[in-house]
Each structure stands twice: as C-alpha cells, then as structure tokens.
Amino acid sequence: MMHKMTKWSFRNKAAIGLLVVMALVMGVISYFRLPMEFLPSADNPQVVIAAMGQGSDAGTMEKQVTNPLEEAVMFVKGKTSVFSTTGDGYSQIIVHYDSKTDMKEAKAEIETAIAAVKLPAGVMKPFVVQQNTSMIPIGWMMLSYEAGLSQTEKEKKLESVLASLKNIEGAGQIVVTGRSHSTVTVKPDAKKLEAAGVPVQALLGVLQGRGVSVSLGEKNIEGTLANVNVVDTVSGKEMLESLPVVPGIKLADVAEVEIGASQDSISRMNGKEAVMITIAKSGEANAVKVGNGIKEKMEQLNAEHDGIELTLPLSTSESITHSVNSMMREVLLGALFATIVILLFMRNFKATIVTIVSIPLSLGITLYLLQVSGVSLNIITLGGVAVAVGRLVDDSIVVIENIYRRLQREAFSIKLITDATKEVASAITSSTIVTVAVFLPMGLLRGSLQDFLLPFALTVTYSLLASLLVALTVVPLLSAVLLRGTKEAAHTGSPRFSAFIAWNLKHKWLPLVLSVVLLAGSVGAYVAMPKGALDSSSAENVSVELHYAGDTPSSEVRSAGEKLESYMLNHASVEWVMMSLGNSADSAQYGQVGSPTLVSYIIDLKEGVDAEVFMEDVRNQKPEYAKADLQANAVDLMMGGGSSTIYVDVTGDHLDQLAETAAKLQQEIASITGVLKVESNLEEQKTVYTYHLKPEKASGEQVAMQLHSLLNPTPIGAIQVDGEETGVLLLPVASPGSRTELNALTVMTDEGPQPIGSVAELTKSEQPSLYYHKDGKPYLRVTASVDPKQLSVIGADITKAVTALALPDGVKASVGGASADQMDDFADLGFTALISIGLVYLIMVLTFKTLRAPLAIMISLPLAAIGAITGLLVSGITPDFTSMFGALMLIGIVVTNAIVLIDRVKQNEATMTVRDALIEAATTRMRPIVMTALATISAMLPLVFGNHESGSIVSQSLAIVVIGGLTAATLLTLIIVPCVYELLFFRKSRRQRRDVHREGVAEAAAASEI
C-alpha cells in the first residue's frame, strides 16, 4: 500500500517540489513563531493554602487556623492526601490530587470550602495557590536605594516601579520581598504612666474616632446649595504627640513617638539590603519576549528614576535561549555526524545528498506540526528532535541503499527505482510505526510526568512519520534525478561474513548460550548497581538553607545568616549570593510561607565550577553554626530543588507513641551505610509559658487582650505622614526576662489592678515549634540525607528497616521522598515499556501475518540490555530516571534493524530455503543495518560529550544507554536473530536441508552414472 505513494509522487513531480519548498518555508516560519519556553506547561497536582497570623505561636495557629482549614478541605474531590505544617505565625496546608483532577476546578472548590471558615481576628485571609510551570519566574530583579531617601520616597518609587513592570506585555504575578513600610511607633514609658496614674490600656484608644471624613449632606448656605463635611485628620508626629490620653495628659507626656520603617522579611543581594522583585509570565506568553521586555523596562526605569538602581542578576529567558540554542547545536552536530557516516559507506556524494535531505524536510514538517498542536519550543521538545535526528535518515538510508545497490547491477529506469522502493516500503513503514508505538504510550503516564513526556512523544512521532513520508516520496524522486547515469562497481556482501553467519547457524547453541550468559550477567550487574539521583555537578545554581530552632532570637538568626553570606561571597566559585529571611504577605499570596528562623540563599556559580565541590565546602561550615541545621542542594530555578533525601512518615493518634517509634527509626536508619544525616521534626521544641486563669478572679478574654497589648506591638490606628496614610503601632510596655517578671505583669480586674500571678498560675512546658499533620492526624517525619549516587540502595535498606520494626497498634510508617519518587517513576516507565513491547509485537504480527517471525525480532530487545548496562558500567555513570527513559527509547530503535533483516528473509523465502534466506538477508542487509545504527549513534555523540541542560530528560546517561544498547543490538541482531529465527522454523528448515541433501545426493549419483 505504502509504495503507491512513491508512484503518486512520480506522477506529481511539480506538486512534490512545491510541497518540499512549502515544508521548508513553513518550518522556518514556525521556528520563529513557536513560543520558547524552558519547560512545557504542566499543572502541579497540588493546591497550597497559606495563612499568616503575626505574633501567634505554633500551638495557637494549629488549633485556631490549621485544624478548621483542614476540616474544610478534607472531603474535596480528587484529593489523595493533605499535609500541613504549622509554625510560629504561619500555617501551610498542601492538598495533593490524583493525576485526573482538573486543577483549576480543584482550586475553585478549595476557595469555596475555606471561605466559610471563621478565623481569629489577627489572622489574615488565607491565600490559595495552584502552581503551574508557566508560573516559573522569568526574572529576579533587585531594587536598591541611594542613601538619603525618606521611607515615603522609597515606597513611592517602589510602587512606581511595580506599576511599570505590570504593564510589560505578558507579565504575570509579581512577588516583592524585603520591602519596608513607613511606621509610626508609640513607646510607652512605664514610670511616667504609673506617675500619671494612666493604665497602658488607655493608650489603645488615643486614635479612636480620629482620622474620619464624614459628609453631613447638602444645605442651602447663603442662597447656594452646598455640601457640608467633617474632616478629622491627624497629620504628623507633633499632632499625634499632642493628642490627649486622659483629660490633662497628652500622649507625649507618657510615651515616645517615632517615625521609622518596619520589615516583614529581609532580602539581601551580595551583602547589601535590597528589595527583591520576582516576575513571572502570564500563561500563554512567550518567555523570551517577556524576559526581553523586563530588561528593556529595567533600563528605562533606571534612566527615568533618580535615587534607585535596578539590577537583573537572574533571568530565565537567557537560560531558555541558551538551552534552545545549545540543543539546536547538538541537533545540527548530530545531523553532520550522520551525514559523514552515510558518505563513508556510500562513497557517493549524490547518494549522500539524497539521503540527508530527509533531515531538514522532516524537521520543517515537525516544527509546523508542533505549532499546529500548540506545543512550545522547549528543552523537552528539542530533546525529542535531538533523539530523533539520527533516526530521521534511517528510512532514507534503507531506500537509497536498496536503489543504489540495484543500480550497481542493473540499468537505470524509473521502474527500477519504484521497485527498489517497494521492496523495502513494508519494512521501513512497520519499523517507523513500531518506533512511534513505543513513544505514544507516554501519553498514558500520570500527572506532570505525562505533561513533560507527551510533547516529547509528539515531537518524535511527528519527525519519524515525516521522515517516512520523505523516504517514500522525495528520496525516490531525487534518486531518479541525481543517480541517473551512476556507474559504480557492484557492491557484494562480505564472503567472510556470509561464511560466519553460516557457521553460527550450524552451531546455534554456542552464540545462544553466550548471549544468555551475557544477558544474565548484565541484568545481575544492573540489579547490583546503585540507582542515583540526577547528577548535580554541572548545576549553575545552589540552594543553601540555614535553619535555627523556633526559639532562637531573630537578631541571632540574622547575624548568623549574614556571617554565612559573607563566607559564600568570598568563595572563589561564587558569582553572586541572594539571601532572604522571614515571611511577608507578598510571599504568602503565592503560598510561600515558612519558618521565621530559616535563612535561605540562592547562589549563582561561576562557569565551569563543580557544584558538588562547592556544596561540600558549604556543608563543612556546619561546626560554625552548631545550633542550626545547614543544608546545600543543587537547584534548577526552572525545575525546583534537587533532592537526595528519604523520609519516613510515622502516623497515629498518640504523640508519645509516635515519638517512641520515631526515635527507634532514627537509631536504625543512622546505622545504614551511606546515610549522611538523620533528623526528626520532633526535635524542634520550644519553651512555652502558659497562664492558667482562675475563672472566679478574672475574665480570660479581658486578660488576654491586656497581656497582648503589654507584650506585643499593637496597631492602634493610622495618621497622615507626608501625605501618606501610615499605620501607628503601640510598642509593648513590658519586656519580661524571667518567670518572676512574667508573674509581676499588672492587669486590670474587677477588683482593680493586680499582678497576673495573683489571678493565674504560670506553667512552663516544652512544645513543638512546628506541627505536622497528615490527613488531619499528627505525624512525625524522620528525614535521612543520603549519598545521591547510592539513592536506590539506601532507599531499599531504609524500607527493610521500617518493615522489620515492630510498630505499636494504630501506628503506621511509610517511606517517601527521593527514593520513593524514583521507584514510582521507574515503575511508571516499566509499565509504559510493557505496553510499548506489546504494541511492537502486535504491529509486527500484523506486518508479517505470523506469530513466530516477530518473536525473532523481539529477541533484539534483551540483546540491547547487554550493551546499555555495559555502557553504564564502562562510563561509570549511575543509572537514573533519564537512563531508564533511554532504555524505553531503545525498544523502538533496536527492533528497526531486526525488522529490516526479517523482511528481507521473508522476501527470500519465496525462492530460497530458510537457511539460505537468512544468510543472504544478513549479508545483504548488513550495510544498511550498520549504516542506520552508526548514523543514530553518531547523532547521539554530541549528547555524550556536550554540556547537557539540567532539567532536560535528554542527558548524558540517556545517550550512553542508547549508544551502548544500539551498538550491542546491531552486532548481535546480525548473529543471534538468524539463529532464533531458524529455531522457530526448525522443522521447516531441517526438512528443506534434508531435501536439498537428497537432491544433491541424487544429482551426484546421476552424474556418476553418466
């Protein structure tokens, strides 16, 4: 059927020529029109709820915020699990969903569910966030101010900058951290208050009823209709100080008023305080265009505004451009290497030109189809092109080699070209469809894995189907034009190779036993090999976290943070350091809340620096920060942090049982080789003092309000400062430093002012500074940091330790983290591989109309495993997710050669015995099989030696698996497949050989009689 396309192309030469030009032009246009992204758009299957309650301790936040919010979302559709973390002043709930859930609907359902939850007055409205890869920031911009600017001027300039950035075409969410706000503080003087007989609570009402603007309606005044208003504006420090607290006592008499600035969070760039502005793009915008727009706007703002300086230390649009360009360079290098291979084998320049025309044509058609499908140009789709480029010439090689071989023996004619194409049309069609069938089941994978791999599968599918179309139409036409009059010595197969195949067929047991031994050894070696996390040595950015206990004073945390910042800034490997500390409302609206005692850094490394060495240097600083946890991980700003941590979640109803189980687990895990560090969230304790009121002596609500204003900054209103409304904070009047001072605090009761110690009992306890819930129940997490190269081995050891541990009734322990994620990904790919193998077999049965011949082809799959594992062992590269992905790709690539071989065998069987058919097919098809394999291998070489992009599924380990597997499969296919084929048709072959022998004996007898 497919050969009819060849005949059609000869009847419509002009149309084919026009279509070729159109394909090339549309490809170029599509390349410039396709939106450039780093990654395809993919929803993260989770919704984050973030709530902030400044001043509230972790226990209060858990009871009053986390618990009611968890109850509200516990029965939403599609939910798989709910995790929450509650700390001082914040609560974060993460709802995980299954892969089938529509995440936009899920977010809307969560928003509706929590809208009905009533939260305490001091807690701001929770933010609901659903992340998508399109929300990855495009630029991290730093804004610094010149000395001398007032706080009001700083805020005006920041607002002006933000307004301008929002106007950038395609700009999406903008997060600001490190911004400061003008604040008026009122610091009570305890002695003056006592001398004047004024309770501190009286200061709370100093601005009550002030700052109003009320319209009294219209009145006829002096014959004219006019509006009458009342305006009460408190403007400036002097006016505030003059306000009466009680009759005869002004605010200035009992308190000190100051105008200053306050910060919720701190951002620093290279050791200097700055405001960090993180800018993302809107959903459908082109990342590179938005990135360029940010740069242009930054230059414009720097020119227009005095007193500020904007810098852009990090722009992912540059990374995207670099990634796309480097991947395209690898594609072109791969095409060049494939061309050299063809030229060396063909030794004919015209035949090489005919063959390689399929590369630009197939790429042009692929780019156009990607644009039509709404797929962006990213490292995943370009990775698909890089993988397919060697395979793009395979169909053309088989066609041109067959035409060329026939031309060396027969006179040129159009019929010869169409017949030569027809001979291989079935083989190349089935081999291409088989390869496509391997990639398409990737669409069946779950969640974000599907979002990443489906564009890859579509790219490979489009390019391979385009190459088949070109091989059946354009290649024969070009052959008719360029190969007319070709005079070359006839190519004959190697007699030695023919004799070698014949010997193997006579002694099948030897090659078959050897291949089984090699396969068993390879599988054993693979099982014993540790499966690693993705290699981090080439990472450009590193994430460092310095985490102190919740009871550490903020000044101590900041001081230590600046000390570590200074160390990293002076490190020879570092380009720049960003530091952030604390929570802010701006960050919370995007779900970014965390411990207020956590200092986070992003470090950009100089080119060529080994990230693993730098991270080890940072970890070695741990003794300098004895009270803190110090972590350093490679981070891809487009993909998120790399992880080599394994955790065990212990769930149950009783915290004491959980604590006991977690302690045992820590001991067991700590003894496992390769575990670098073990910790539990139970270790994060904080001292809590609790007043237990005597109900007959005081009211809890009144006492709580009074103590809150005594011990915490309290907002009491707002005044006008430099024309801007500015909040007024009443600073705490008391700063108790001991239990005695806590008991001595004075509160108003029905019997007058009394020390709190007389109306309440003060108790001291140690409570967690962080509360963790899993599906509404408390859980403890034991976390193990492990050697990333030994991830699978250590993960298995930890799982064994957990399984062997005797757990109390009602307590469960489950292993998660990097090793579990790795196992899930490997399992998903394994399932996909099984589906792919089933589809391959089905297609070949349909092609050859028999069950046995395809089995001989399928034997090439385990043969490929020998080469793939050997490649990993020789290169010393640890198997990871991308190498498993390479193994999946091999299924489609290696069967191609076996199909071409068996297709020739089936054609030969019409006139030859099975054995002769096998020997002739192996000898004749050796050249195209070796050529296609070498072309694919050569196209993969740039991926082995190139600097592959982090975050890409196309990496060095993938290329090594494909090259090793294809090399072994090609060599063994020519030897083992004929042996297996003859075994499958053993009776027929033996009968034919017996008949041939009898005929030979009869002919010899007849000859002797003559």
State pLDDT tens for residues 820-859.
555 565 666 677 778 888 888 888 888 888 888 888 888 8
Partnered with residue 730 across adjacent β-strands are 186, 714
Which range scores top for mean pLDDT: 75-84, 173-182, 941-950?
A: 75-84
Residue 22 predicted with pLDDT over 90:
yes
Q: Is the distance from CB of 919 to CB of 498 less than 8 angstroms? A: yes
For 302, residues 6+ apart whose C-beta sits below 8 A from its C-beta are 308, 309, 310
List the single range of 271-280, 288-297, 949-958 with lowest mean pLDDT.
949-958
- pLDDT value at 222 more than 50: yes
User: 362 or 314: whose pLDDT is higher?
Assistant: 362
Q: How far is CA 1002 from the centre of its chain?
A: 73
Residue 668 pLDDT > 60? yes
What per-residue confidence (pLDDT) applies to 949? 47
* Furthest CA-CA distance within the chain: 150
Mean local confidence (pLDDT), 340-369: 84
What is the per-residue pLDDT for 828?
66
* Cα of 229 vs its chain's centroid, Å: 59
CB environment 632-657: b (16+ within 10 A), e (fewer): bbbbbbbeeebbbbbbbbbbbeeeeb
Judge whether residue 642 has pLDDT over 50.
no
Q: Which of 29, 310, 269 is nearest to 143 (CA)?
A: 310
Evaluate if residue 172 carries a pLDDT over 60. Answer: yes
pLDDT number for residue 466: 92
Residue 320 vs residues 36, 326, 837: alpha-carbon distances, Å: 7, 10, 35
In angstroms, the CA 164 to CA 300 distance is 10
Look at residue 947 and tell me whether its pLDDT is greater than 80: no
As to burial, measured by CB atoms within 10 angstroms (0-12 exposed, 13-18 middle, 19+ buried), residue 228 is exposed
Choice between 475 and 826, residue whose per-residue pLDDT is larger? 475
What is the spatial distance between Cα 559 and Cα 762, in angstroms, rounded to a whole number?
A: 32
The predicted-structure confidence for 493-534, as pLDDT tens digits, reads as follows 678 888 999 999 898 889 899 989 988 988 888 777 655 444
The whole-number average pLDDT for the span 187-200 is 81
Most confident range (mean pLDDT) of 172-176, 451-455, 862-866 is: 862-866
According to the model, what pLDDT value does residue 1008 have? 62
395-410 mean pLDDT: 82
Question: Do 634 and 611 meet the contact criterion of CB atoms below 8 Å apart?
Answer: yes
pLDDT above 50 for 11: yes
